[in-house]
Amino acid sequence: MQSKDINEDIRWAQINEDVLRSLENPRMGYWVAVGVCLALLALAIIAEIYQYRVGMGVGNLNWPHMWDLYIATFIFWIGMSHSGTLLSAILHITHADWRKPIYRFAEAMTTFTLMTAALFPVIHLGRLWNMYWVLPYFSDRGIWPNFRSPLVWDAFAIFTYLTTSALFLYIGSIPDLAICRDNARGWRKKLYTALSLGWRGDDRQWRNFRKTYLVMACFLIPLAVSVHSIVSSDFAMSIMPGWHVTTFPPYFVAGALYSGCAAIITLFILLRYFFRFEAYMTMPILDKTCKLTFAIAMVWTYLNLIEFASVWYGHDKVAKELLIAKFTGPYSPYFWAMLILGSVLPFTLAFEKLRTNIPVMFVVSILLNVGMWLERWMIVAPTLSLSYQPFAFDVMWANWVQWFIVIGSFGWFGLLFLIFVKVIPSVSMYEVKEMIFHRRHIANKDIAAVMHRRATDPKPAGGQPSGASGSTPGTPGLEGA
Amino acid sequence: MRKGRILALFSNFDEAFAAISDIRHYKVPGVSVDDVTVISPIEHPEIEEVLGERPSHVPKFTLLGALTGVTFGFFFLASAQATFTVQPQGGKPVIPLPSNFVLMYEMLILFAMLFTVTAFVIGARLFRKRKSLYSEKVSLDQVGIELEVDEKYIEPLKELFNQHQALEIREEVIK
């Protein structure tokens, strides 16, 4: 396996050439993916039109299952949005330069998953034509949303996160859009000229760019955590069994990071294939992403166990009965599938042989997200079917209308994402150049200084002979050399 | 005195920085390092050591945005909640601070980000028509040094840039 995150001998001109080629000449697989996404979206549109004309009952969405697949899928998409921008921001602040070839598509994933998630409350409400009632606007009826409700917090938090994530993605793309502008023709030239805002790469622009990007990254981290904590409040602030749990905010955040990381692996493998990005989306970077996913999977597993233990040893009888029902009741096959896919399957990521096998990782990453979708469904549905009131006990199963809309949302997300990566470079050209420059010049300069110090120091600290060891862990720059 | 603009392209940062170093040491009398603009495909990590510290007002805008956001958030929520004073609150406060903190926090971040982006657009002088001396090679792999000086300094500067293996020199007179 290649040992370096990136080949440091790639010429800068070659980077431009490779990435710009991806905007025009993808593999056939790209167009097949576009076709599949369109077909899935068509299913959702048919189902939504039917539901819009006849009513919400046609999806078998009825009392007590008022929140079913739509809200479970809403949480799933919100969760998936977390890894892109959040991880990009964290890795940017900590100077983890291996993020550079992959952060652009991860951030795009955030923006489009949020746009997909935002559709579900609208679809779930049913009366689309009255959606504007939820907006806080001055009306002669003097009606305002209830600002004490987590549902309103949700709307504000998602709007803030969508706006800032989209701005973060856009600001980070401006230098690359200028490169596209300088190399494009026809309608693309006009588009990139408008989008690059007159960027020319002078020191004033870079200076302000660096500060802006850093400030945005710093604000995005607490924002991302707050958004999913607020989504968890939709449940945790109720008194429903299975939802009124103190650990829900960190549990939701960990689940969000987990599904987002798994999605990054899936998209990483697809883009690497579609656009022939083997030189940029390298195996060491995939390896690091897999290790990160494994670590987060273990955190998620731990929080699951904590939740089970606190319910089991607690005094809430109804919550305990619900927990037992999850393991043994009508939803048990899905609950066990969630546990196996979410907590056992990630152990494949612990083995290097499997981690570096692309087909295996592609299948595993998809299955991990199936597990995470089941997790959201297992949060929503069992509580609704087995709540405090025995007369309200009822197990309901979604029919084709709900399933088509859920499946179609994957088509909608996929289509937006595939259009994006065909128009905007999915590998950041200037950041890859920075990565190579840093590794080739700055890191090597540090090594030269260390070697020079060792050679001239007759008795180095610790009694080691000069130049005795080829590599000193923790020495700045050595890991990049 | 007429003014001129000159752009020299170099194949790497080292040569460009050597030329700037000469300007810093007044090899061309009358031209100072403050007149220099470096145009590059990436930001060199040590650029401030070469050009000296130059200000950026982005953090100040961010702070202003955050304060505006938290203030707006409070008054927006409070003014809406105050319209409900005629309704019985059941002993709860009309303006409940703990639940309002959540949205004030979101507004803080939203406004801080919007102000930051505005500061970037203003500070980086975006939305301006590009100067005619821009070279597309800069977005590829070359480093440019641009100066706007009195016309009499153009020739000595060309000489200096040639000493440092400039790949290409462009100049124009500003009307």
Q: Could you read off the pLDDT of B27-61 as tens digits, one per residue?
A: 788 888 888 899 999 988 788 888 888 888 999 99
Q: Which of A4-8, A49-53, A469-473 has the highest mean pLDDT?
A: A49-53
Q: How many CB atoms lie within 10 A of CB A329?
A: 15
Both structure tokens of B159: 């000489």
Q: Which percentage of chain A shows pLDDT scores above 90?
A: 57
Largest CA distance in chain B: 83
Give residue A426's pLDDT band: very low, low, confident or very high (50, 70, 90).
Answer: very high
**How far apart (Å, rounded) are the C-alpha atoms in residues A120 and A101?**
32
Question: Quick one: closest CA in A to B86, which residue?
Answer: A142
Same domain, B111 and B140: no
The CATH number covering residue B144 comes to 3.30.70.260
Rounded to 5 degrees, φ, ψ at A185 are -135, 165
Same domain, B43 and B64: no
Of B39, B42, B96, the CB nearest to A200: B39
> What pLDDT shows up at residue A222?
93
Same domain, B25 and B45: yes
Mean pLDDT of A402-409: 95
Q: Quote the number of domains for chain A.
A: 1
Same domain, B100 and B74: yes
> What pLDDT shows up at residue A471?
34
- State pLDDT tens for residues A120-142: 988 888 888 888 777 767 666 66
Give residue A189's pLDDT band: very low, low, confident or very high (50, 70, 90).
Answer: very high
Question: Quick one: closest CA in B to A204, which residue?
Answer: B124
Q: How many CB atoms lie within 10 A of CB B131?
A: 17
What are the chain A neighbours of B114 within 8 Å (beta carbons)? 163, 167
Q: Give the range of the structural domain holding residue A303, as residue numbers without chain letter.
A: 12-427
Same domain, B163 and B141: yes
Tell if the CB–CB gap between A147 and B77 is shorter than 8 Å.
Answer: yes
Q: What rounded mean pLDDT belongs to chain A?
A: 87
Pairing status of strand B143-150 against strand B3-10: antiparallel
The CATH number covering residue A77 comes to 1.20.1630.10
Altogether, the residues listed in chain B come to a count of 175
**How far apart (Å, rounded) are the C-alpha atoms in residues B86 and A12?**
68
User: Which residues, including other chains, have CB under 8 Å from residue A209's CB and lie 6 or more apart?
Assistant: A171, A174, A175, B43, B120, B124
Closest-CA residue to A80 (of A197, A149, A9, A161): A161
- State pLDDT tens for residues A32-67: 999 999 999 999 999 999 998 998 888 888 778 888
The DSSP annotation for B2-61 comes to -EEEEEEEESSHHHHHHHHHHHHTTSSTT--GGGEEEE-SS--TTHHHHH------HHHH
A451 is a domain residue: no
What are the chain B neighbours of A171 within 8 Å (beta carbons)? 117, 120
Mean pLDDT of A414-437: 93
pLDDT(A105) > 70: yes
Give residue A463's pLDDT band: very low, low, confident or very high (50, 70, 90).
Answer: very low
Q: Quote the number of domains for chain B.
A: 2
What one-letter code names the amino acid at A222? P
Q: Confirm if A294 and A258 have CB atoms less than 8 A apart.
A: no
A39 is a domain residue: yes
Tell if the CB–CB gap between B139 and A13 is shorter than 8 Å.
Answer: no
Altogether, the residues listed in chain A come to a count of 481
pLDDT(B7) > 80: yes
pLDDT(B14) > 90: no
Both structure tokens of A47: 């189902």
Same domain, B45 and B63: no
Q: Give the range of the structural domain holding residue B9, as residue numbers without chain letter.
A: 3-55+131-174
Of residues A85 and A284, more confidently modeled: A284
Tell if the CB–CB gap between B126 and A198 is shorter than 8 Å.
Answer: yes
Give residue A443's pLDDT band: very low, low, confident or very high (50, 70, 90).
Answer: low
> What pLDDT shows up at residue A393?
85
A477 is a domain residue: no
Among the candidates B123, B144, B164, a domain finishes at B123
Q: Confirm if A157 and A108 have CB atoms less than 8 A apart.
A: no
Q: Which of A4-8, A224-228, A367-371 has the highest mean pLDDT?
A: A367-371
Same domain, B44 and B97: no
Mean pLDDT of B111-133: 88
DSSP state of A439: I
Closest-CA residue to B11 (of B145, B113, B117, B108): B145
A448 is a domain residue: no
Interface test with chain B among A202, A218, A441, by most B beta carbons within 10 Å: A202
What are the chain B neighbours of A182 within 8 Å (beta carbons)? 136, 139-140
**How far apart (Å, rounded) are the C-alpha atoms in residues A445 and B53?**
23
pLDDT(A462) > 80: no
